[in-house]
């Protein structure tokens, strides 16, 4: 291949910035694998990897991803919405990936007795890795604060006497509790999101990627259920199996006594669905996983 051809091919590749480590990295890798775009990194320290097709992953720190995307070093990226919001850059959310759920919260020391914003005295010091979001929150609340920027472990700041309050991420609340902190307010709800630069026309490949990832996410909490049910119970069965557009009903060659029904059902209620179908005389119930779902 000539040098020009190699360069042209590299220019065509659609670059997606992904976290090189941290709590989102594993879930992102699994999602791309399920979408048929396995992350083919040469080794764990690779800075980039082919995702197959026209896609190339570049691995950077989760907090740098908003900058890479906003500056067009990558056409899209996946990172926490908290980091995208804190960056203050003009970014568009293309898809909520639903994992990495957490909240950015304001917390105080338990023994301070402070349980609400209006109980805070004077001008408190707030330790946080999210100075911009914190500043905006207190501005909106028309409260003065002194921000103590830290690059991690903000929750230890009150114990060290360098701040009265913290603004930090929490998912289960256990780290806050262990550090003797109680939540006072939520600044932001976050999860991992696919982002792009605002105001740009999305390339066809990127739109296809959004559809592929969305179809995998949609399929995750669903199962495909098939069963033979007595024809006379069909009306009752329809109530149990609303499915996406109601069940598909197929004749069975048994003289017309039974019909086969197929439906997409929520996996969280599958036990109840099966029990209800059995009580209606269903036989040959089969439940399978769905890889993708495109309504």
* Binding residues vs ligand AMP (CB under 6 A): 19, 22-24, 62, 80, 82-83, 100, 102, 169-171, 190
- Give the distance between the most distant pair of CA atoms in the chain: 82
Q: Which is nearer to ligand AMP, 89 or 292 (CB)?
A: 89
Shortest Å, Cβ 47 to ligand AMP? 17
Q: Which is nearer to ligand AMP, 128 or 170 (CB)?
A: 170
How far apart are the C-alpha atoms of 283 and 272, rounded to whole Å? 16
Shortest Å, Cβ 80 to ligand AMP? 2
How far apart are the C-alpha atoms of 243 and 134, rounded to whole Å? 44
Shortest Å, Cβ 168 to ligand AMP? 8
Q: Which is nearer to ligand AMP, 37 or 169 (CB)?
A: 169
- Please identify which residue in the block is written with the tokens 């659609």: 14
Shortest Å, Cβ 105 to ligand AMP? 10
Q: Which is nearer to ligand AMP, 56 or 82 (CB)?
A: 82
- Please identify which residue in the block is written with the tokens 């805070």: 120
Shortest Å, Cβ 22 to ligand AMP? 2
CB 37 within 8 A of CB 212: yes
Nearest by Cα to 122 from 132, 112, 134:
112
Tally Cβ neighbours within 10 Å of residue 241: 23
Q: Which is nearer to ligand AMP, 65 or 282 (CB)?
A: 65
Shortest Å, Cβ 169 to ligand AMP? 4
How far apart are the C-alpha atoms of 17 and 59, rounded to whole Å? 6
What residue spans of the chain are helical by DSSP H? 3-12, 25-34, 65-70, 81-87, 131-140, 157-160, 174-178, 204-220, 234-240, 270-279
List C-alpha distances in Å: 196 to 24, 63, 77, 143, 278: 18, 15, 7, 33, 48
Shortest Å, Cβ 167 to ligand AMP? 12
Q: Residue 238 is encoded by which pair of tokens? A: 């329809």
CB 109 within 8 A of CB 176: no
Q: Which is nearer to ligand AMP, 171 or 200 (CB)?
A: 171
- Nearest residue by C-beta to ligand AMP? 80
Q: Which is nearer to ligand AMP, 130 or 138 (CB)?
A: 130
């Amino acid at each position: 291949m000539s040098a020009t051809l190699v360069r042209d091919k590299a220019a065509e590749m659609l670059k997606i910035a992904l976290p090189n480590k941290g709590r989102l990295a594993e879930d992102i890798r699994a999602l791309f694998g399920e979408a048929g775009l396995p992350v083919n990194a040469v080794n764990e320290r690779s800075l980039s990897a082919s995702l197959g097709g026209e896609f190339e992953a570049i691995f950077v720190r989760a907090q740098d991803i908003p900058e890479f995307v906003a500056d067009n070093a990558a056409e899209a990226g996946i990172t926490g919405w908290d980091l995208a919001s804190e960056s203050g850059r003009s970014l568009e959310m293309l898809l909520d990936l639903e994992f990495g759920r957490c909240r950015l919260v304001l917390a105080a020391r338990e023994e301070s007795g402070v349980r609400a914003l209006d109980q805070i005295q004077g001008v408190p010091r707030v330790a946080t890795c999210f100075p911009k979001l914190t500043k905006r929150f207190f501005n909106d609340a028309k409260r003065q604060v002194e921000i103590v920027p830290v690059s991690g472990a903000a929750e230890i700041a009150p114990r060290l006497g360098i701040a009265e309050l913290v603004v930090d991420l929490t998912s289960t609340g256990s780290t806050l509790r262990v550090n003797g902190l109680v939540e006072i307010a939520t600044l932001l709800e976050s999860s991992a999101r696919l982002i792009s630069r605002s105001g740009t026309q999305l390339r066809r490949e990127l739109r296809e990627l959004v559809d592929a990832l969305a179809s995998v996410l949609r399929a995750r909490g669903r199962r495909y259920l098939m069963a033979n049910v007595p024809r006379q119970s069909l009306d009752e069965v329809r109530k149990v199996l609303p499915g996406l557009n109601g069940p598909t009903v197929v004749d069975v060659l048994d003289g017309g006594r039974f019909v086969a029904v197929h439906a997409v059902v929520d996996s969280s209620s599958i036990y109840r669905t099966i029990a209800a179908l059995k009580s209606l005389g269903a036989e040959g119930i089969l439940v399978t996983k769905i890889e993708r779902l495109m309504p």
